[in-house]
Every structure is written in C-alpha cells, then in structure tokens.
A and B are shown apart, each in its own frame.
Chain A
Amino acid sequence: MTGTTGTAPSKDHGTTGPTGTALGAPAERREGRQKVTGAARYAAEYALPGRAHAWPVPAAVARGRVTGVDTSAALALPGVLAVLTPGDAAGLAAPEDGTLAVLRSADVPHRGWCVALAVAETPETARAAARAVRVTYGTEAHHVDLTEDAPGGYEPDEVAGGPGRVEHGDPEAAFAAADVRVDVTYRVPPLHNHPMEPHATTAHWEGDRLTVYTSSQGGTTVRATLAQLFRLPEERITVVAEHVGGGFGSKGTPRPDVVLAALAARHTGRPVTLAYPRRLLPTVVGHRAPTVQRLRLGAGTDGRLTALLHEVTTHTSHVREFVEYAAVVSRVMYATPALLSTHRVVPLDVPSPSWMRAPGEAPGMYALESAVDELADALGTDPVELRVRNEPRREPGSGKPFSSRHVVECLREGARRFGWAGRDPRPGVRREGPLLVGTGVAAATYPFQVAPSTATAEARPDGTFVVRVNAADIGTGARTVLAQIAADALGVPLERVRTEVGHSDLPPAPLAGGSCGTASWGWAVHEACARLAAHPEEGPTVHADTTGEADADSPYARHAFGAHFAEVAVDTVTGEVRVRRLLGVFAAGRILNARTARSQFTGAMVMGLGMALTEHSTLDPAFGDFPESDLASYHVPVHADVPDIEADWLDEDDTHLNPMGSKGIGEIGIVGTAAALGNAVHHATGIRFRELPLTPDRILARLLCEG
C-alpha cells in the first residue's frame, strides 16, 4: 500500500500520476468543457428533421386489463399524429425482460404501466393528446404490502450470481447459546434512482435501418435487445449514447422508452422523441425494492461473533423476478463459525424493482452495520475495535482467500483522521443548547466485478492514438480514465490519446454498471494498446477481446472495502438531523484518476446521506403505486443538506484483478453511509431508529416519548 492521494489539490489539472505515468493523475474530464457550455447533447436533444414527440398514458389501475381505449378525442386535436394502443406491439418478438413488453397485450401488471402512447408534432400537443385518451379497465384485486409473513414468498435459487441461501454451522443453535445476543429488524423503504436526465430516446427509421439516441448505461445491450424485439440484424441498428445524464442502475438495461420510441417512429414514419415525464419514471424504470431485514448476532464476551443470521424479505413484481440481495454482505464481512444469509422474495402487484446504486450492498450494510453497532453497545466495546476483532482470514461465505482486503486499515486511517480516539461511548450526553450531537462509524464493501469487452487502438500517422470502445460515460469520466489507461500502456503522453465511446459502431462493450465499467473496458483498452506498443507492425489498428480472461473464474474473493465516519446534530425541538461531517476512506485497488474518483466517492456518499435522512417512498395500498413520484415529494439531498464531505483512499497493489489493478469505485461510497449516520443518531440521542429515512416526524415522536 502506498500513501494517500485523495486530497490531491483539486485545482491541479495534472496529467501525470504519483508514479510519473498517466494512471492515477487527476486529469480533467475531457467532456467537461462541452458540459459547462451547454454543447453536450443528450438523447432528447437530437432535433432530426420532422421530429415528433411522444407522451405515455400510464395505467390507472394496479391490476387488470385494458377493456377499451377511446382515442377519438385525442386524434381530433390538431397536430396529433397517432395514438398507439395495446396490441400495436404485438408483432414484436417477446422480450426476455418483461418490463419491455409494452403495448403487446391488454394486461396491466401494475399501476403506471404504459397503456397508450400519444405522438404529436409538439410536446405540448402530445401531452394534451395523452390526457385526452380515455382508457377503460377490468380490474382485479391487488396487493402491494410487504410484510415479513406476506403469503406467496419464496427463497430464490440465485441472487447476484450466488445462491439465495448460504448456511454454515448451526446458526440457530449457536445464536441461542451465545453469551451476548442482538436480535433486531431493520427496514428500508422503496427508493428511486431519479437521475437528473429522465429516461429518453430519439428514434429514427430509414427503411429497415433504425437509429436510436438513447440515455443508457450500455448501448451494446440496447442494440442486441432492439435487434431481438424488432427482428433485425444488429448491423441495421445504431445506438448512440454520447452523453448520459446519470443512471445509478436505472439505465443499466433498456427501459420502455427505447422500445416505445422505436415503435412510435415506425408507426408514424417520423423521427420520434420520447422523454419520459419525471412523475411517471418511478413506475417504469425500476426502484430499489424495500427490505425487511432481521439480523441476529451472537457473540462471546470477548466480542467475537459466534453466530450471524441475516434474513431478508423483499418484494418483486409479477412481471419479472428481481431480488434486492441485501443478505449477501453477511457472506463477506465478518468471521463467524455459524452463518445464515438468506432471502425471501414476495411477488406483489408492484412496479418492477431493479438496480439502484449498490443494489443489495447499500441496504444490506445499513442493516448489518447498524446491528454491529448495537452489538458494540451491548458488549461495551468500541465499534471500530469490535469490527477489527471480527476480521476474517478468508471470505466467510465461500472460504476463498481475499485478493486484497484493507477494511481494518480503512477503519484505522478513518478513525485517525476523524479524531475518533477518546470518543465518549455514552449515548445522548452531548448537548449544545437544543441540539444533541453524536458520531458513528460503519464499514463498507462492494464486490469487484469484471466482464469481457472488446476495444481497438489505432496509431495515427501524426503520432497520436485513437482508442475505441462502446463504453458509456454516465458521469464517471470514462473517456478520461480510458485515455489514461491507454497512454500508460502505450507509453505516450496523455494528450496524444483520443477516446471514442458511446456509439454502437465502436467495439462492443459491457455496461457501465456494477462498478465494473472501467475494469472491463480498461482491460480491453490496455490489451489493445500494450500489443500496439509492443508490436507496431500489427497496426495501425489492433483489436482486443478479453473474453476468456476477464470472465475466468478467480480463486480469490475480490471486493473493495471502506469505512465511513459521521457526525450529526439532532435538533430536539424540530427532530431534524443535520450532518456536520462525513468522511469515507476506501481501499479499492489502484485509483486511476484522483479527481474523478474523489467525485464518485463523495457523490455516492451524498446519495447515502439521502438514503439515511431524506429519501422516502411508499406503496399506496389503495392505488398500488408510489405517491412520492416526483422531486417535490421524493426528497433527494439538496445543497443545504450536504456539508463538506471528505473521501480518501489507500492505494492497494492487487495483482489478481486486471492489468490496471483497479477495483470499481462508483458504488462503494453509498454503502456504509446510511449506517454511519444512523449510528451517529443513536450516539446523539440514545434512541435506536431501525427504519429509514430518519425524518423529523420519526425522530421527534420518539424523542418526545423516550428522550
């Protein structure tokens, strides 16, 4: 491990890293100039000649069938081109992902499901037309309430590429026999990704060639999906995703907007833009499924765990199975002779859940790290020391050795920087007028993932190089970091490398998701560039494909780790929790760009702050979808919520990952944040809150009763 680099001066434009190469340098993001001048174009901003606009009609019932669609009033409006109705997509092939089966049949699987699509000359007319469509339904009883004992639940065979259930030892007996026991249930509500750019697609047919400009984390998959649905060879489809206004998982795979836009464009013979209205997004693009998590921790009086049981109940839709795999973290974090990590998923009449930043890990570590804090309380042990004491030698779930694991170092370094030493463990004793002040800690983990990718490197006659890969830059700085990887492998200055991403004419690549984008694309870029440097005669263009290498089984358990420290002030008059300080220290392999990495770490911590304190969605039992459907009712953190946030890292030298030695960094920042904040609120108030978010109504009610 080398020294920390995370506090490199933020105004340094540097193009060389700590070792004199491009890797690790705080290089300025290459598309930044376009973004600050308004020149960067996003999916809805391709004003093709004759372009029309589409507006969806959401289902108004939670379960049933469309029995009739009266489009006459809509079609009578001047400027309306068409109204697509159920059955208009019946000619498409059946999608593998049921959420894309829009307008194929009259079935309504959940409220908000698209039941018609108005297409008009202008957005205003499309909106008016959508409102003028009259839909009648045959309704059936629906159920959207998630409870631990909800009927119809089952244990999934597989979650996150592993088994739904892992059990070692005799966890029930070990827990019953433990000296010290914690048995607690934590709840996380549904959460919404809400990237700032709504899901949008501009689609255009020329004969039997389709071009889509779409907001996606993975254009290669969009093309494959459209080819299958529209029964076209992939080479007749072009997918452009040059700039993507965030996704956080919700644009990881194609969403209905791209299918609907392509359908509407074919139906009308016009280019069509569908920018999904913000208020309708939560029902059609996926959400983080709510979880009810029972944690049982048994320990000896020495603080060593003797049993760890993590049982997760969550929901999925009737459209497809998605499991919020929150119990997986308990297979990674702590040494225990008896382990149970299991999931129970209940299909309900709810919108389909999907990936949201650190799916599984974020809610799972909220519950686990809160329960560990409760165990520290019960034992009278410092929560940092308790974690150190339970550090495993091998991965508890698999028995594999870790490729690298520096969570203890992150905890120690974080504690040093935060000023943790000498902390008074007593809760509820630090008063500043009406405020109660407290500090908390939590660990973080996120798996290293990597997928095969292709890329090319071209040597140009003028001495510059062009690297091509169909990566998506969703705000990570992919263009920049891939150029750094290329420059390093080629042994040339960063300025001589250009990167092309975000277009399906480029070499196919996996998505920007699972924190695996840079690891996967970068591997192929590195390979192409290294070969071009070693064998210029193979040029001018060298093609690389990491299939067989990147997806080879590893004998190691590979994860990034981190530690979060938080200080909060709780207002006893208003119940408001204000964050004073937030620190994250991470060990995520080699950090490839100090500037953009820090932004991803701190940005994810902001999202974790929202998860802890402000973001709250519910499923209305009567209507069956989310009342908190827009940004006025679903509160993402704003400037005033966010203090100075510090993120730093310990560079790791891990040779079991990829040629760059990098792990993913896009998600781990969210993972421990909510638990650190929740633990700080307990330290401040002496009250243990076990349901997120920690909003004033909840805080105040219990302060008045118990404070």
Chain B
Amino acid sequence: MTSAHQPGHHSEVTLRVNGKPHTLRVDHRRVLLDLLREELDLTGSKKGCDHGQCGACTVLVDGRRVNSCLLLAVALDGSEITTVEGLGGDGDEPHPLQRAFLDRDALQCGYCTPGQLCSALGMLAEAAAGHPSHVTDPAAPSGPPVPLDRTEIRERMSGNLCRCGAYPRIVEAIEDVI
C-alpha cells in the first residue's frame, strides 16, 4: 500500500490477536477495527457506525470489552485481542455462548451478533468482578459478584444495538450460560 510507506505517520506495533502475535506497521489514524478487518482479514468484527454508537465492533482487549472502532491501533502495542473468531476452542466446537445464540435464535441478519457475543462475555466478567451497573442496588456491598437478572443483563448490554430486534432472545441466550 502506498500510504503504508510514508515516513512519520506510521509506527510498528505488536498485538496478540486470538493468541497469535502480529507485528504490523500501522497508519496512526488506523483504528483497531480497521486493522482487524483490513490487515488481518478478521472481518467477524463489524463496522456499523464507526463512531462507538452501535457496538457491532465490540472485541475484548486484555479481557475487557471495547468498541474497536474507537481505539487507535498504534496505542495498543502489547495488547491481547480476542475477536469473535477466537471465541471457540481449537476444535470445531463453538463457545457455549455461541451455541446458546443458535439455540435461542438470538440473531437474524447477524451483523450485530459478533459484537453482542464479545460484549456479553466482557459483561459477564465485569459482573463477576463486582462492577455495578446503573440498575444495581446502590446499597449492595461492592466487591462480590453482581447477580445478573434480566434487568441487569439488559442494562449492561445496552451499548449493543440490534435493529432486527433479537433482544429478548439474546437475553435468554446469555442467561443460558450464566
């Protein structure tokens, strides 16, 4: 690529993506989402808005869920990235949450699905670590895992839009793996 060789606007970073190291010379404007999609051909992470408004690009960075369209790749040197392609094990078996999405028909067009999956896994870890949400009882002690009822799941998943309206099925699928 022509622009990839312009001096001064590129830097070398090393990322581990789904367990594999990648050393890349990245355009400073490049966000993680475009790096995954354009340079690693990991197109499972979707671009719905490119502005952090829809959640379709959600991936896990060092175990935490992020909108990958808002993270500049150059700032992620040394990070561990997990995308939807990396959720399943080494074999053919999908992750239990992926299986639950199929069982519950928690998808239609499928475009928000990778983001919903990654977001749900990040969310489950947050609740397990005791992070409160807007609907968590303020009087509850901080620290212990937050029990996830449907209100908690809905609140915590609200950064992931689904225009097909699969929300009720997505919530059921998440409940299946709690």
Which A residues fall within an 8 A CB radius of B? 10-11, 13, 28-29, 31-42, 44-45, 47, 78-79, 120-125, 128, 193-198, 243-246, 248, 275, 277-279, 474-477, 595-596, 598-600, 602-607, 630-632, 636-640, 642, 644-645
Contact = CB atoms under 8 A, between A and B. Distances in A.
Nearest to A53: B38
B105 interface: yes
Nearest to A603: B165
A596 B106 CA distance: 10
Contacts of B114: 36, 38
Given A197-B48, A278-B50, A639-B157, A245 B111 contact: yes
B114 to A, nearest CB: 5
B85 to A, nearest CB: 5
A471 to B, nearest CB: 14
Given A10-B103, A36-B98, A36-B117, A196 B48 contact: yes
A128 B30 CA distance: 12
B149 to A, nearest CB: 12
Contacts, number: 207
Contact of A198 (B42, B47, B110): B47
B64 interface: no
Contacts of B49: 198, 278, 630-631
A47 B111 contact: no
Interface of A is mostly: loop
Contacts of A31: 110
A638 B38 contact: no
A475 B111 CA distance: 9
A599 B169 contact: yes
- Residue in B98, B164, B170 with the greatest tally of chain A CB atoms within 10 Å: B164
11 contacts: A11-B103, A32-B110, A196-B163, A198-B49, A243-B110, A278-B48, A474-B109, A599-B108, A606-B167, A639-B153, A639-B158
B163 A246 contact: yes
A38 B2 contact: no
Nearest to B159: A638
Interface stretch (B51-59, B124-132, B139-147): B51-59
A135 B35 CA distance: 31
A246 B111 contact: yes
Given A36-B107, A475-B110, A595-B105, A639 B167 contact: yes
Interface string B26-55: 010110001001100111111111110110
Nearest to A634: B53
B165 A36 contact: no
A198 B46 CA distance: 10
A156 to B, nearest CB: 30
- Residue in A38, A40, A195, A603 with the greatest tally of chain B CB atoms within 10 Å: A38
A130 to B, nearest CB: 13
A286 B43 CA distance: 27
A475 B108 contact: yes
Given A123-B38, A196-B163, 7 more contacts: A78-B6, A122-B34, A196-B56, A243-B109, A602-B165, A632-B53, A636-B163
Contact of B109 (A36, A244, A607): A244
A123 B34 contact: yes
A38 B42 contact: yes
A40 B4 CA distance: 28
A277 B50 contact: yes
Contacts of A602: 165, 168-169
B160 interface: yes
B88 A37 contact: yes
A246 B108 contact: yes
B15 interface: no
Contacts of A42: 43, 46, 111
Pick the 10 closest A-B CB pairs, nearest first: A38-B44, A606-B165, A245-B111, A475-B109, A35-B110, A603-B165, A475-B108, A79-B3, A38-B84, A45-B43
Given A246-B163, A631-B161, A642 B51 contact: no
B177 interface: no
B153 A600 contact: no
B43 A196 contact: no
A603 B29 contact: no
Contact of B46 (A121, A196, A645): A196
Contacts of B38: 47, 122-123
B68 interface: no
A630 B53 contact: yes
B154 A124 contact: no
B168 A645 contact: yes
Contact of B27 (A122, A275, A637): A122
Given A197-B111, A637-B165, A124 B29 contact: yes
A638 B163 CA distance: 9
Contact of A196 (B2, B88, B94, B162): B162
B3 A121 contact: yes
Contacts of B170: 639
A279 B51 CA distance: 9
Nearest to B108: A475
A41 B101 CA distance: 19
